[in-house]
Amino acid sequence: MNRRQFLGKSSVAALGAMALRTRASAMPAVLAPSPESQRARLDVVWGDRVGKINRNIYGHFAEHLGSCIYDAMWVGVDSSIPNYNGLRKDTIEALKHIHAPILRWPGGCFADQYHWRDGVGPREKRPRTWNIWWGRDEGNAFGTDEFLEYCRLSGVEPYLCANVGSGSPEEALDWMMYCNGKESTTVTALRAANGHPEPYKVRYWSVGNENWGCGGNFDAETYAHEYARFVTYLGRYAERGTVEFVACGDFREGWNQKFFETLLHLPAGRRAIRNVQQLSVHHYFRGGLGQATQFTDEEYYRALAGVAVLEARLEETIGLIQHYTTSQNRVGIALDEWGIWHPVPGTGAEALWQSNTLRDALLAAVTFNSLNSYGEAVSMANIAQTFNVLQCIAFTKGPKFALTPTYHVFDLYQPHMDAMALKTVVDSPTYTVKPLTQLPPEFLAFLGGGGETKRTYLSASASLNEAQKQICVTLVNQHLTEPLEVEIRIPGLDSPGVRGGSVRELTSGNVRDENTLDKPDVVHPSAPKELSVQGNKFTHIVPPHALETLLLQVA
């Protein structure tokens, strides 16, 4: 049997076909590669520009959940942990180092329980409430002004999620006025009294979160009407071109289609989608993947193969958006929650705290290779969640601090931000994972039915930074034990082609290796090493279970 497989990612038209090619017919659980099969080929097609990679796909998400906010972002003005007016310094520095572009807040499910007025003004007067979703007390010390100051210090764009489920258009409009208002009103005077006379100019606003579930249990049609009601007021108030609205979507059960159809047929809808700039969808890799640090080899491959399900869903959504919009009112996909979700308790101060291994990092890298290949169609992605929760980028506990393996992926993918995606064609040996059985329906829904999946060991993406005359190629060898010799060709790149470059690597002795608060540096990236490659064809060896970032200089 020929195990090699070409995977081309170019136009959206080709994407559906590609999704089909990643499915497989009956094969064993995990293929043992033959010595012959450890070679792969990657074509980076110089002349095929797929579209600009929006830097916001390297975004983050922080919810009032476990210790994502309290301890990691807010330590309080009297804390002995280094802080700027109560905002934790080391986490701010971590976000600055990776040039984190955007941060979504305050939820998550919490967003549709949150009333922004509870979190402004003198802290000692703020109400104590109870976080019904994640079972812990909420003292409201960290509110709008603290969040926006945290964003300013970290250099990230804020992205606010308004309360639809238990809120009102009036409350959301007041929040927008508080953040962005220039007029002299009671609410802008309140902002000034709280120390910020100038508008914050918050650009990104989502109208609820998961409104098919914790955001109010709407059906798609009812949510569409609610959405239209909210943006009637928010859209009228927002200065043209200064705000982007993100609507709640869902990959499952025809939600997106029903949502668009309902908007199109509103009495005053003018048969066009208006006031929707991005559509929020969420995707967690969960179920059948073992534990965070204890998993079988098959569970390792199953986790990475899960990206195929995400790809199929994104491709379907891209097709749907193309159907309902034109280039004049195109809607981007905001994958504003994603990541691996291990089986851990979900309430209290340590809710959804999970270990983070090299497996998680490689999953993030494979996901980014995929997101890069969609060019402008994916406008945002926010990993869940920034600190101490799910697939976080750093752990904190009191004065202790550790970067996770996943953090280093964000670091190694920085050169892709705002660069032009180039088409990549992968020819690589493959692995196959068996279908899952006996999983509860909610997991199967996330896993796309758990069908058998065939994936190439090599995952790759490439982009061009015109200004720096640099191609960035990110390669993941998903094979657990064998190195992969990759022939890289850049067809269309004129002589002299590549003139040297550098490489950084992220791997570790065991894919189960993790960074903890006591051993924070077990998994760390290498320093850049020089690459003496020339021309438009060369070979590069990627070790097993490793990510490599190649920066190639072109004339």
Q: Which residues bind ligand AHR (CB under 6 A)?
A: 63, 107-109, 209-210, 337, 384-385, 390
* CA neighbor of 551 nearest in space, from 476, 486, 489, 471: 471
CA distances from 62 to 72, 110, 338 (A): 10, 11, 12
Give the contacts of 217 (CB within 8 A, at least 6 positions apart): 211
Question: Does 337 qualify as catalytic in the annotation?
Answer: yes
Give φ, ψ of 364 to 5 degrees: -60, -40
Burial class (CB in 10 A: 0-12, 13-18, 19+), 537: middle
423 phi and psi, to 5 degrees? -65, 135
Q: Is the dihedral of CA 527, 533, 534, 536 positive or negative?
A: negative
| Closest to ligand AHR by CB, 27 or 445 | 445
Output the smallest distance, CB 505 to ligand AHR, in A: 30
- Least distance (Å) from ligand AHR to the CB of residue 184? 37
Position 429, amino acid: P
For residue 255, the minimal CB distance to ligand AHR (Å) is 14
CB of 227 to ligand AHR, least distance (A): 17
Query: Residue written as tokens 């796309």?
Result: 448
Alpha-carbon distance of 444 to 451, in angstroms, equals 9
Task: Determine the Cα–Cα distance for residues 62 and 290; give it in Å rounded to an integer.
Answer: 25
Name the residue among 472, 305, 389 with its Cα closest to residue 136.
389
| Helices marked H in 10-64 | 12-22
Q: How far is the CB of 541 from ligand AHR (least distance, A)?
A: 38
Smallest distance from ligand AHR to CB 219, Å: 18
339: amino acid identity, one letter: G
Helices marked H in 42-168: 89-97, 144-154
Annotated active-site residue in 63, 146, 157, 210: 210
Cβ-based nearer residue to ligand AHR, 283 or 504: 283
Picking from 416, 353, 362, the residue whose alpha carbon sits closest to that of residue 384 is 353
- What's the closest the beta carbon of residue 108 comes to ligand AHR, in angstroms? 3
Is residue 487 annotated as a catalytic residue, yes or no? Answer: no
Residue 385 or 549: which CB sits closer to ligand AHR?
Answer: 385
Kindly name the residue from 138, 311, 337, 505 that is annotated as catalytic.
337
Structure tokens that stand for 67 in this block: 């210790």
Specify the residue, 109 or 542, whose C-beta has the smaller distance to ligand AHR: 109
Token pair listed for 180: 């962005």
User: Strand runs (DSSP E) across 139-212, as ranges?
Assistant: 157-162, 204-207
Determine the residue with CB nearest ligand AHR: 108
Q: Shortest distance, CB of residue 347 to ligand AHR, whole angstroms?
A: 12
Of 384 and 458, which has the nearer Cβ to ligand AHR?
384
In this complex, which beta carbon is closest to ligand AHR, that of residue 365 or of residue 392? 392
Q: CA 133 to CA 150: how far, in whole Å?
A: 24
Rounded Cα gap, residues 204 and 246, in angstroms:
7
Radius of gyration for the alpha carbons in the chain, expressed in angstroms and rounded: 23
Residue 551, H or E segment: strand 546-554
Whether residue 181 contacts residue 175, with contact meaning beta carbons closer than 8 Å, is answered with no
* Phi, psi dihedral angles at 490 (to 5 degrees): -125, 75
Comparing CB distances to ligand AHR, the nearer of 404 and 459 is 404
Phi and psi based region of residue 521 (left: phi greater than 0; alpha: psi -120 to 50; beta: remaining): alpha
Question: Toward ligand AHR, which CB reaches closer, 74 or 110?
Answer: 110
Alpha carbons within 13 A on the beta-carbon side of 402: 20
The nearer residue to ligand AHR, 391 or 456, going by C-beta atoms, is 391
Q: Please state the closest distance from residue 302 (CB atom) to ligand AHR, in A.
A: 21
| Interhelix angle 255-264/220-237, nearest 10 degrees | 50
Nearer to ligand AHR, 131 or 424 (CB): 131
Residue 229 host element (H or E): helix 220-237
Q: Which residues are catalytic?
A: 210, 337
